[in-house]
A and B are shown apart, each in its own frame.
Chain A
Amino acid sequence: MECRDARKNLSALLDGALEPDAAEAVRDHIGSCAACAAAFETMRAADAEARTALRGVAESAQPSGRFTARVLAGIARQGRAPSATLWRPRVRRLALVAAAVVIIGLGIWTIVSNLPGREGDDVTVTSVRPAPPRPTVLVLTTLELPSVRGLVEELLGNGFPEPSAEPEEVDRPQLNYAPTVVPTHWG
């Protein structure tokens, strides 16, 4: 065993937390290496002193006689039964799952909508125009979730805007940069 390996195991050796074979190997190394033996002795002494100090501090005071009463008063002030917390982790998990679905959906939609046309597609330069609108509801319709769509429609109360097959053309003045090339099968 090398010094580096032995040093990594000194703490576990102190706790008796090494497997018997590993402990024996470390002990053998310490027996033959003065530097590692000194390091082990220093660690052992420092640790023993720390343990004594911590126990001294821990015994320096006792909990007050009103400890339990104060805890129960704190619980009463909180005014919440433990059973009331049972549903919270579930709701939190559900909210996390819902958030994850929305984020993943947005990610997929963003990637898919930005894919270039396939090789061999007819491509023509049409005009310079702004990117089509990408409202969040479009993600939901893209994911084809009728129940979600119905819910959103109900919440909005005014129906659900259909995404237009062709983005709206916008007349623009002469521009100095190159026009965007878009596949003709857009949408």
Chain B
Amino acid sequence: MDAAAEGALIAAARRGDRGAFGILVERYRDRLHRVALGLTRGSADAEDLAQEAFVRAYGGLGRFRGDCAFYTWLFGILLNVYRRWVRRRARVRQHVVNTQTDAPDLAPLPNRQAAAKDELERALSVIDHLPPKLREVLVLRHLEEMSYVEMARAIGCRVGTVRSRLHRAREQLAARWQRVRGE
């Protein structure tokens, strides 16, 4: 699908053509779902988050001005949905903090060799300690291979902020990674 065809679908969806929007959903659902999984560490909520992002995108199509790629705009909406999810979880955790561990939800991982699985778990536990804003840039960089400019548009901040957040994320990763390796 080229840009013109996508533009026509967006225009049709703006006029209320849900079928046209459905085609856009089909086109981007895998990518949004992947990023939602990365953000939520494979939580079962990832699909709900991606779906909610699409629903909100449809309602907000009037605000899409076309000054960035449609998928960049979609990722921006997904990040907003994710931030709300993080806040909601934080509130819920306050109620159950005495009865449960603070470990995030883990979707069943595919069968892997035990060592590789341990390695993955260890890396994920390192990522878990990143604040949401730092995790966002890391996920967009590694799963979507977005440029700094694209990330800035999706997040709604300056390129310098993206660069700084990515740097801080990697510094924290490196520090924790060293500690984990040293144990």
Decide if A and B are genuine partners: yes
Q: Is A50 an interface residue (CB 8 A)?
A: yes
Report the Cα distance A47→B59, complex, angstroms: 37
- Tally of B interface residues using CB under 8 Å: 57
Tell me the interface secondary structure of chain B in the complex: helix
A60 touches B62 (CB 8 A): no
B18 touches A72 (CB 8 A): yes
**Chain B 29-50 interface 0/1 with A at a Cβ cutoff of 8 Å (1 = within):** 1100111011001100011001
Cβ–Cβ < 8 Å partners of A81 in chain B: 15-16
Cβ–Cβ < 8 Å partners of B98 in chain A: none
Closest B residue by C-beta to A11: B167
Shortest Cβ distance from residue B14 to the other chain A in the assembled complex, whole angstroms: 5
**Chain B 85-123 interface 0/1 with A at a Cβ cutoff of 8 Å (1 = within):** 000000000000000000000011110000000011001
Closest B residue by C-beta to A7: B171
A85 touches B63 (CB 8 A): yes
- Please count the residue pairs between chain A and chain B whose beta carbons lie under 8 angstroms apart in the complex: 158
B170 touches A62 (CB 8 A): no
Shortest Cβ distance from residue B152 to the other chain A in the assembled complex, whole angstroms: 12
For window 21-43 of chain A, which residues contact chain B by CB distance below 8 Å? 39, 42-43
Report the Cα distance A145→B107, complex, angstroms: 63
**Chain B 59-75 interface 0/1 with A at a Cβ cutoff of 8 Å (1 = within):** 11111000000000000
**Chain A 77-101 interface 0/1 with B at a Cβ cutoff of 8 Å (1 = within):** 0101111111011000000000000
Shortest Cβ distance from residue A165 to the other chain B in the assembled complex, whole angstroms: 51
B110 touches A60 (CB 8 A): yes
Closest B residue by C-beta to A41: B174
| CB contact under 8 A between A46 and B47, given known A17-B163, A63-B29 | no
Cβ–Cβ < 8 Å partners of A82 in chain B: 13-16, 58-62
Q: Which of A51-59, A105-113, A128-136 lies at the interface with chain B?
A: A51-59
Q: Is A114 an interface residue (CB 8 A)?
A: no
A49 touches B52 (CB 8 A): no
B62 touches A11 (CB 8 A): no
A75 touches B58 (CB 8 A): yes
For window 111-164 of chain B, which residues contact chain A by CB distance below 8 Å? 119-120, 123-124, 126-127, 138-139, 141-143, 148, 163
Q: Is B25 an interface residue (CB 8 A)?
A: yes
Q: Which of A52, A71, A76, A83 contacts B54 (CB 8 A)?
A: A71
Q: Is B82 an interface residue (CB 8 A)?
A: no
A47 touches B170 (CB 8 A): yes
In the A-B complex, the 7 residue pairs with the closest CB atoms: A53-B123, A46-B177, A82-B61, A86-B62, A11-B167, A74-B55, A85-B62
Residues of B within 8 A of A (CB): 13-16, 18, 21-22, 25-26, 29-30, 33-35, 37-38, 41-42, 46-47, 50-52, 54-55, 58-63, 107-110, 119-120, 123-124, 126-127, 138-139, 141-143, 148, 163, 166-167, 170-171, 173-174, 176-178
Residues of A within 8 A of B (CB): 8, 10-12, 14-15, 17, 39, 42-43, 45-47, 49-64, 67-68, 70-72, 74-76, 78, 80-86, 88-89
